[in-house]
Chain A
Amino acid sequence: MEWETVIGLEIHTQLATRSKIFSGASTAYGAEANTQACAVDLGLPGVLPVLNAEVVTMAIKLGLAISATVAPLSVFARKNYFYPDLPKGYQISQMELPIVEHGKMEIVLEDGARKFIGVTRAHLEEDAGKSLHEDFQGMTGIDLNRAGTPLLEIVSEPDMRSAKEAVAYMKKMHSLVRYLGISDGNMQEGSFRCDANVSVRPKGQKEFGTRAELKNINSFRFVERAINIEVERQIDVIEGGGKVVQETRLYDANRDETRSMRSKEEAMDYRYFPDPDLLPVEITAAEIEAVRKTLPELPEARKQRFVNDYQLSEYDADFLTNSRELADYFEVVVKQSAEAKLSANWVMGELAGMLNKEGKDIGESPVTAEMLAGMLLRIKDSTISGKIAKEVFEAMWQGEGDADAVIEQKGLKQISDSGAIEKVLDEIIAANPQQFDQLQAGKDKLMGFFVGQVMKAMGGKANPAQVNELMKKKLA
């Protein structure tokens, strides 16, 4: 039988506020355990939450960016359960009235087709602390630095039909929250992670199959892996005559398998109810408009602008606008070098290749946009050839200075002195009389041979156009 996969994602993105969602404690990552948890985060008796207004603005930004409804009235609710790293015995979240509803986002599939993924809702909530199970001699340590960190949980419709679509959606959302500046999207630090609801059904069937929820996946690769493995498992279960049970499963990257955490029967009753310590969040149309004015140019619009203004292909524009940082980098290079196509080629080619090879982010590139632009200017004014430029780029990457310094230091300046070139050319013609005769007799292929020999003899520094020119004169 042919099976169809159905996937919905719940993405938890940490909002990039300086202080926590309900207290003034810092959200900075990596501090010593329990040094960034104040009385409110610790859930001490008598303390009360006060909403950080910044998170509301950030949620509105997301809502606007995905064409969603920003709720004029949303309500914080308590999700009650006991866990040692949940200080109050409840998590403050939003249940019945979330701040954002009914959004959508377009993804591009592998074959270039486009597809809208519905976003059911996005709601604000606080993160819990961390349980540390190692180094405590059989006991568990609790670090509450993360407790109270603001999260925006973005819940999609079950609109994705393959792991690849899920990854495309997750990447697009990742790019979007970074564009909006509402999250640093750092996946290693857990600032962007997701739960995947996965089910399968016979192709053509309308009803959804029973789903399993895969918890806490924090990389694009793992999302794809975990979904594919889970889909295989479910198909095996069904084809083996069994039934998929509704449950929460964990993806174990080390063993490359998913395994059951708890079944539906064991699912907790969270006893949600409106938090009486917090007032409903009221948002006026004027407030929404004020936030709209602060929105940066969004990926889709920027891509179109790149196509129109820089005459880039759809593919190039898509690649370059994938992250705000990369797009910003590219635009600096273009503005300073005034060479759009050349800039795109270098950013997507040599630069992207090196970043990829060394596992670096664009922000960590040793070659800054200014340095790259400086180098492109030297190509443009014929100081160096494209080939030499690769050597210059390599040297800049290794920290040997900017393009001018590298060219100077390594003596890579292109030779445009026709006298010097002609001298070398004459020597080469003299050394290869047979080939020269053949060329003169019309064997045009040999043109490349002579130019190549000159370039070789001159260490690649000769201006190739000039060599061609001179060679043609010799033949005339």
Chain B
Amino acid sequence: MHTKSLAELAEGLRNKDFSSEELTKSALNRISQYDSQLNSFISVAEEQALVQARHADAQITSGKLSSLTGIPIAQKDIFCTEGIRTSCASRMLDNFISPYDATVVEKFNAAGAIMVGKTNMDEFAMGSSNETSFYGAVKNPWDTERVPGGSSGGSAAAVAARLVPAATGTDTGGSIRQPAALCGITGIKPTYGRVSRYGMIAFASSLDQAGAMAPSAEDTAIMLNAMAGFDARDSTSIEKEVPDYTAVLNNDIKGLKIGIPKEYFGEGLDAEVAAKIEQAVDEYKKLGAEIIDISLPNSSLSVPVYYVVAPAECSSNLSRFDGVRFGYRCDDPKDLEDLYKRSRGEAFGPEVKRRIMIGTYALSAGYYDAYYLKAQKLRRLISEDFKQAFENVDVIMGPTAPSTAFKIGEKSDDPITMYLSDIYTIATNLAGLPGMSVPAGFSNGLPVGLQIIGSYFDEARLLNVAHQYQNVTDWHQQIPEGFK
């Protein structure tokens, strides 16, 4: 059952080839059988999942079903789930049980999906390797000595190993696309404001966006159908009609204009990765697309701008974790200051502390103009680059990450090198654009991801473009040895 796509599973449930309870048990079994090798789940919600599955089966029997009814999925542990621990992979929230569901969780529940558990991630989504989790590193199913990418590394590994058919992720600077690339699955980060952020624990509010991770573009389209839409509880979510993302998957892409930014193929890009991306672009040519060389001149500013804006917002967003009302509190605080210092000092990991310090500095009196304000101005320049590019092209393509999955521990002592893993993904977050990563082959047995960037609210086109490629390739169908 685990090799079937979401669409196939939905079909099977509808035809009563198997029940949701059987399907859910199968996912739970695979988690208990394989996850000790991957560490992709922080919490498994077995009991609740089975209750949900039985309820879904009843709905299926009565004929009331959506395309996700009875399908087991995993939620990144950044989404608040009522009654089930929401840790954000931090010691700070190791004991935190949310009294409410995130909008995304509510929507999947309403669609009848089964939540089998909460996936591992970098602590508070800060990281590109999933090594900063309080619950330990996640391993890449293609090579368990390597990282799955991050921060949605647990979701990526769980989907790649086919423990679950699909999972949610969040993407602040590449946290859906980079792990999708490194684990050989498909991931989509929608336009900023397309999916509600309510109940999604904030890292950098102006960049955070929830999205979907699954083996194929079609599967992520089904997921996105359930997730997207305006939410009155999120002032930054956008009131715009949500199309059926599966409707245009099969559209012909003859004449599609693909922009190839020269800045995405410069120094630092692994030669093998570059070769795979070129092959993928050739494939698109065969499908009738037109390839246009473009330039995004301010690309080199993305990483420095991001590492001012994101830490600045995070330094403020993470202030609520103070040991007063919920979460970790140090033992026997002497006084208020001691309570703050030790609760936060003991419960936050080093990467989170580093970013809080960078952000606090960037917002300080006397530095605000030079850092935060300047970064906001440069952010507009980066958006302008894209705006101009999309006047001439329909989508932009390039590598998702500069290299394939690296070894666990290889970059963890060198934050700057680590930050450069997101060099191609960060700009879309700064501009608020939608982006995808699509499996595009292997280099030394490790997956390579093709990134496709679209204009605002052009998710349907991105999914269509990805699906057409997946119709003529089978990279997305590969399952790592040992998890077949």
Contacts and interface: CB of A to CB of B under 8 A. Distances in A.
A190 interface: no
A84 B336 contact: yes
Contact of B319 (A49, A80, A142, A273): A80
Contact of B102 (A46, A50, A276): A46
Nearest to A51: B235
Contact of A48 (B234, B340, B372): B234
A46 B200 contact: yes
A72 interface: no
Interface stretch (B147-155, B158-166, B363-371, B409-417): B363-371
A133 B393 CA distance: 64
B197 A271 contact: no
B202 interface: yes
Interface stretch (A87-95, A225-233, A412-420): A87-95
Interface string A27-49: 00000000000010011111111
Given A45-B86, A48-B234, A82 B199 contact: no
A45 B80 contact: yes
Contact of B198 (A48, A87, A276): A48
The DSSP consensus for interface residues of chain B is loop
Interface string B353-374: 0000000100111001000100
A46 B198 contact: yes
A144 to B, nearest CB: 8
B377 interface: no
B320 A43 contact: yes
A279 interface: yes
A278 interface: yes
A138 B94 CA distance: 28
Contacts of B233: 48, 50
Interface string B367-394: 0100010000000000000000000000
A193 B128 CA distance: 49
Given A43-B320, A46-B98, A142-B324, A277 B198 contact: no
A250 B100 CA distance: 41
A66 B137 CA distance: 60
B198 A269 contact: no
A78 interface: yes
Nearest to B339: A84
A273 B326 contact: no
B320 A45 contact: yes
Contacts of A140: 336
A282 to B, nearest CB: 13
A474 B363 CA distance: 96
Interface string A72-86: 000000101010100
Contacts of A88: 319-320
Interface in B448-467: none
A271 B98 contact: no
B237 to A, nearest CB: 9
A48 B103 CA distance: 11
A271 B198 contact: no
Nearest to B198: A48
Interface string A275-296: 0111100000000000000000
A82 B324 CA distance: 11
A273 B235 contact: no
Given A82-B322, A89-B322, A279-B235, A45 B201 contact: yes
A277 B319 contact: no
A89 B321 CA distance: 8
Contacts of A45: 80, 86, 88, 93, 96, 98, 201-202, 320-321, 326-327
A49 B317 CA distance: 13
Given A46-B199, A82-B340, A276-B204, 9 more contacts: A45-B86, A45-B320, A45-B326, A46-B80, A48-B234, A87-B324, A90-B316, A140-B336, A272-B363
14 contacts: A39-B99, A44-B80, A45-B93, A46-B79, A46-B199, A48-B198, A50-B234, A50-B235, A84-B322, A89-B318, A271-B363, A271-B368, A273-B316, A277-B205
Interface of A: 39, 42-51, 78, 80, 82, 84, 87-90, 140, 142, 269, 271-273, 276-279
